[in-house]
Amino acid sequence: MPATILIGVFAEIPKLRPYTLLIHGGAGNITELSAERERLLYTGLEEAFAAGEKVLEGGGSALDAVCAAVCVMEENEGFNCGRGATLNADAVVEHDAAVMFEGHSGAVCGSTHARHPVLFARAVLERSPHVFLAMPPDSLLEEWDLERVANDYFVTAERAEQLKRVQAAEAIAEPHGTVGAVAIDRNGHLAAATSTGGMENKKHGRVGDSPIIGAGTWAADGPHGVAISATGWGEMFIEGAVAHEIQARVRYLGQPLAAAGEGTLSDEVGTRGGYGGVIIMGSDGQAAAAWNSTHMISAWRTESGVHTQLA
């Protein structure tokens, strides 16, 4: 497969408060964004960032913060998660999500009725002896007091239309619009969360990188720990063990976050013909984003306020 040229840029994000939050709403090669979708994305980023930062400001944990931010985006139809997520080849929404905090993780794939897949993943972490549940039964939603909705609740007219177009073209739509968040709290703990519908027209049972620890999601405390949420073409992120590769570059090579992200995208994703982006937070609260696609939808705090970007 031909190597993809790294066309993205990366940003160094400073620690301005006793905590830091960085969120993303997906990376991809987006040719056009309707004014309505742009509005949804900007609003979603702003509201999600505010929700996550409020938790951190109030002394909440990094895990609480990343879940709060992701829950807001799961309610926003502009992103590929929660309501408005992509449809699989059978026109069903199958969500994947993961969280990681203090060295432990929880993940679900093929979730079809949890209103907030990220909270389902968190419940796997906090309420089960396991770390990853595939096609989890709905009975767990009741057992764990999680909101259950009909699968139709997640299906939007726009996604149904998109599925028809993709199926008529006998294609797999390039994935984008996954959401994620990384944070460090006042106690210095790092957390990451990622939530997605995956790839439009995917085969039933297809799992992307988002719920796979070390591929699309990662968080480790300690002097060289990092928290990572990835987005992009999941198959290549799995094959490149992207999130753990970034952690390894930071821990064993001492690379700065942006260089670790950029190098990993180039060597592990670009060389496989894939694209996408990562948000990374270090244990000192500095953060970075890197991507090799035209868009990296994200938000973080700067000296002059919250910066949201769609490009």
Per CB under 6 A, the segment of 157-165, 229-237, 265-273, 279-287 that binds ligand ASP is: 229-237
Q: Minimum Å distance from CB 133 to ligand ASP?
A: 17
Phi first, then psi: what are they for 236, rounded to 5°? Answer: -75, -30
Angle at 274 between CA 270 and CA 280, to 5 degrees: 75
Per CB under 6 A, the segment of 8-16, 140-148, 202-210, 243-251 that binds ligand ASP is: 202-210
Q: Minimum Å distance from CB 185 to ligand ASP?
A: 25
Angle at 174 between CA 93 and CA 80, to 5 degrees: 40
Burial-class residue 142 by CB neighbours within 10 Å (0-12, 13-18, 19+): exposed
Which token pair is 103? 């060295």
Q: Interface with ligand ASP includes 232 (CB under 6 A)?
A: yes
- 178 has catalytic annotation: yes
Q: Interface with ligand ASP includes 209 (CB under 6 A)?
A: yes
> Which one among 4, 20, 61, 80 touches ligand ASP, defined by CB under 6 A?
80
Q: Interface with ligand ASP includes 82 (CB under 6 A)?
A: no
Per CB under 6 A, the segment of 119-127, 171-179, 264-272, 281-289 that binds ligand ASP is: 171-179
228's CB contacts (< 8 A; 6+ apart) are 182, 192, 217, 218, 219, 242, 243, 246, 247, 278, 279, 280, 281
Looking at the DSSP bridge assignments, the partners of residue 109 are 96, 134
Q: Interface with ligand ASP includes 94 (CB under 6 A)?
A: no
Nearest to 289 by CA among 230, 219, 214: 230
> Which one among 178, 247, 292, 293 touches ligand ASP, defined by CB under 6 A?
178
- Tell me whether residue 196 or residue 201 sits nearer to ligand ASP (CB atom): 196
CB 96 within 8 A of CB 110: yes
Nearest to 111 by CA among 87, 88, 94: 94
Q: Interface with ligand ASP includes 274 (CB under 6 A)?
A: no
Q: Interface with ligand ASP includes 214 (CB under 6 A)?
A: no
Q: Residue with structure tokens 């239309």?
A: 161
On the CB side of 152, how many CA atoms lie within 13 Å of its CA? 0
Q: Minimum Å distance from CB 283 to ligand ASP?
A: 25
Sheet containing strand 190-196, strands side by side: 132-134, 104-111, 95-101, 190-196, 179-184, 20-28, 295-302, 305-309
- Tell me whether residue 286 or residue 309 sits nearer to ligand ASP (CB atom): 309
> Which one among 234, 261, 274, 282 touches ligand ASP, defined by CB under 6 A?
234
From 178, 196, 231, 264, active-site residue: 178
Q: Interface with ligand ASP includes 175 (CB under 6 A)?
A: yes
Q: Interface with ligand ASP includes 211 (CB under 6 A)?
A: no
Q: Distance between CA 67 and CA 153 in Å, rounded?
A: 21
| Residue ranges in contact with ligand ASP by CB under 6 A | 26, 80, 175-178, 196, 198-199, 208-210, 216, 231-232, 234
Catalytic residues: 178
